[in-house]
Amino acid sequence: MLQVKNLHASINDKEILKGINLEIKAGEVHAIMGPNGSGKSTLSAVIAGKEEYEVTEGSVLLNNEDLEDFAPEERAHKGIFLSFQYPIEIPGVTVTNFIKTAINSTRKAKGLEDLPAKEMLKLIREKADLLEIDRKFLSRSLNEGFSGGEKKRNEIFQMAMLEPKLAILDETDSGLDIDALKVVANGVNKLKSKDNAVLVITHYQRLLDYIVPDFVHVLHNGKIVKSGGKELALELEEKGYDWLK
Ligand SMILES: Nc1ncnc2c1ncn2[C@@H]1O[C@H](COP(=O)(O)OP(=O)(O)OP(=O)(O)O)[C@@H](O)[C@H]1O
Ligand SMILES: [Mg+2]
């Protein structure tokens, strides 16, 4: 599904990613761990196509298609979902209205008509029930006064609605408490299928007790320095990152 080949990327002429190789197949869950500043968020931003970053070498392919020339919205329409894509507060725009707009713009890009209101409502209720989201939450203004856990809930709800092929969840800077970790984990586990894939970026070995990854990769100084199975996360917790340098 996703192939990252010898990816080098810079920001303001500073090279951050220094040759990343990563292959994610449909049905797999991959976790990326690594010290602060190693390039984890940069990697997710580059996959999502954020324009501040310059790809200087290598490529990112989604289902064998090179994403180089596609803008972030186009990549989203192709099925790449990046968490924290919409961290802004939008007073007056509810969680429901925001997702309706997002769904219909994706449909439009595919040449489809807007989803009829009744079907949209049905879908929203179905996904909210699946994720045990209170209906009241759906009529709140987007991110306004949301707690960390509520932001996560909203993000997972967006993911459930948009049904991405590849979901990238960057959990680093959010100070997740155990409830928020469970929101993320339950959401991911319920939405996981043989046709989609998930890339979780996390500092928390604990999260990986709930979302069991097929592969764990360690990023250090812009390179993947080690890959392994879920046991690698435990080893990292015990030994830290120094032994991998
Ligand atoms: N806009 C920017 N301008 C300058 N340097 C940047 C910019 N964005 C990222 N960097 C630098 O790139 C490096 C990698 O940052 P990145 O956010 O990818 O790390 P990270 O692995 O996600 O770290 P953390 O675990 O703290 O979230 C850091 O040294 C950071 O300062
Ligand atoms: Mg980060």
Token duo for residue 10: 């810079």
Per-residue pLDDT tens digits for 48-73:
999 999 999 999 999 999 999 999 98
Distance 241 CA to ligand 2 centre (A): 16
Residue 35 CA: which ligand 1 atom is closest?
25
Residue nearest to atom 18 of ligand 1 (CA): 39
What does pTM read for this prediction?
0.90
Number of domains in the chain: 1
CA of 203, nearest ligand number: 1
Residue 203 CA: which ligand 1 atom is closest?
25
Determine the residue of 7, 32, 33, 38 to mutate for testing ligand 1's pocket, defined as the one with the most ligand atoms within 8 A of the Cβ atom.
38
Determine the residue of 8, 33, 36 to mutate for testing ligand 1's pocket, defined as the one with the most ligand atoms within 8 A of the Cβ atom.
36
Q: How far is 183 from 160, CA to CA, in rounded Å? A: 12
Q: Is the CA virtual torsion 63, 193, 198, 20 positive or negative?
A: negative
CA angle 14, 15, 20 (to 5 degrees): 160
pLDDT of residue 147: 79
Distance 34 CA to ligand 2 centre (A): 9
Q: Name the phi and psi angles at 17, rounded to 5.
A: -100, 130
Query: What's 177's domain CATH number?
Result: 3.40.50.300
173: containing domain: 2-244
Around ligand 1, the residues with Cβ closer than 6 Å are 11-12, 14, 16, 34, 36-42, 52, 172-173
Mean pLDDT of 7-11: 97
Residue nearest to atom 9 of ligand 1 (CA): 42
Per-residue pLDDT tens digits for 167-217:
999 875 556 777 778 888 888 898 899 999 999 998 878 888 888 899 999
Per-residue pLDDT tens digits for 123-157:
999 999 888 888 898 999 887 888 777 888 888 89
pLDDT of residue 85: 46
Per-residue pLDDT tens digits for 223-237:
999 999 999 988 888
Q: Which residue has the higher pLDDT, 181 or 77?
A: 77
Token duo for residue 157: 């709800």
Round the average pLDDT of the chain to a whole number and report it: 89
